[in-house]
Amino acid sequence: MSEEQTEQRATRKTREGVVVSNKMDKTAVVAVTERVRHAKYGKFMLRSKRLYAHDETNDVNIGDKVRVMETRPLSKSKRWRVVEILERAK
């Protein structure tokens, strides 16, 4: 076997977040919140990012908790895809 076939690709990043928009076709906007320690003062702060995630089946709704995984660029701003729905909105 050649070297390219034996090498494993790096594990892809996964994040958990809440769907804040599903108005686009096959795209969901997922808000990912993380607790970050302030460099100088040590206080924990909440930082959030909005990730554009590919949703092939248009299955997610606003308020759903989902897991997203990094993937190749699918459009200008879409770099993630929805892997699973962890919890449905009530």
CATH for 20: 2.40.50.140
Of residues 76 and 6, the one with the higher pLDDT is: 76
User: Is 5 inside any structural domain?
Assistant: no
| Structural domain includes residue 2 | no
74 pLDDT exceeds 60?
A: yes
Residue with tokens 């206080």: 43
The domain tally of the chain equals 1
pLDDT tops 70 at residue 3: no
CB 85 within 8 A of CB 59: yes
State the residue range of the domain holding 43.
11-87
Average pLDDT, integer, range 1-21: 83
In a domain, 45, yes or no: yes
What is the end-to-end Cα distance of the chain in Å, rounded?
52
72 in Cβ contact with 12 (< 8 Å): no
